[in-house]
Structure 1
């Protein structure tokens, strides 16, 4: 169950060398995660309001494989890897055509609105395939 989100590289995304600044890949995959949740039919603002749950990035393991450049059309691919009661691990890759440019394993944790550990909402668990 891989979700694909297109991203265009704008001039503001690049550094002096004309390649995508490394931190912007984290922004690209953040957008990919947000759109992945939306594609599951879930509204993060509603989850917070109704269930008091938000998500925070706990860990990112990133590999920068090849640079993207201004005006490249990229695809952010997001796929769930594992799920526990309070944590979800996602694999996220950034592609330019058939070339993988960036790869990350992202661990998200559920938090209450007060910032204490929470549980992954049933709605999200039910929307995911068996992991």
Structure 2
């Protein structure tokens, strides 16, 4: 397993419902920020990739809400790349408050080319990923 990429997230009032608890859909925003920050941390520019004809889309997401976050909490988003195949990249993500896991997600991303059809993941991304993220028999 790769070392997780970490992104701190402060819970603001706008992230919560009337009870001061983080609205469930905002966890998806938090993990999106985690993935974007992970990509940037690899030295890749998503806007340059987009201009070159490659964008990323979430193909599948399985999420578990385990405990609530509240207004004022400082959270940590952990992102770990997993299986890499052709146009797909699977990732594990978690949102934690201190050592308490609040939310987990298994996310499958797909690279899309200029026509909106799946396209091979960019070589720049493949080259940055650890060998354990490679699927057996994949280059």
Shift of 1:38: 0.2
Please identify runs of 4+ aligned residues in structure 1 that moved more than 3 A.
none
Give 5+ residue unaligned stretches, structure 1.
Answer: none
Alignment of 1:1-131 (within 5 A): 1-50=3-52, 52-130=53-131, 131=133
Distance 2:59 2:42 in 1: 22
**Higher mean Cα deviation, 64-73 or 13-22?**
13-22
Distance 1:3 1:113 in 2: 29
Alignment deviations for residues 76-113 of structure 1 (CA, whole Å, 9 cap, x no partner): 00001110011000000001000010000000001012
Distance 1:102 1:63 in 2: 6
Distance 2:83 2:21 in 1: 32
* Secondary structure, aligned partner of 1:101: strand
Structure 1 length-normalised TM: 0.97
Distance 2:30 2:69 in 1: 12
Give 5+ residue unaligned stretches, structure 2.
Answer: 134-139
Structural RMSD (CA)? 0.7
Distance 1:76 1:117 in 2: 27
Shift of 1:114: 2.1
Distance 2:114 2:10 in 1: 33
Alignment deviations for residues 23-45 of structure 1 (CA, whole Å, 9 cap, x no partner): 00000000000000000110011
Distance 2:41 2:48 in 1: 15
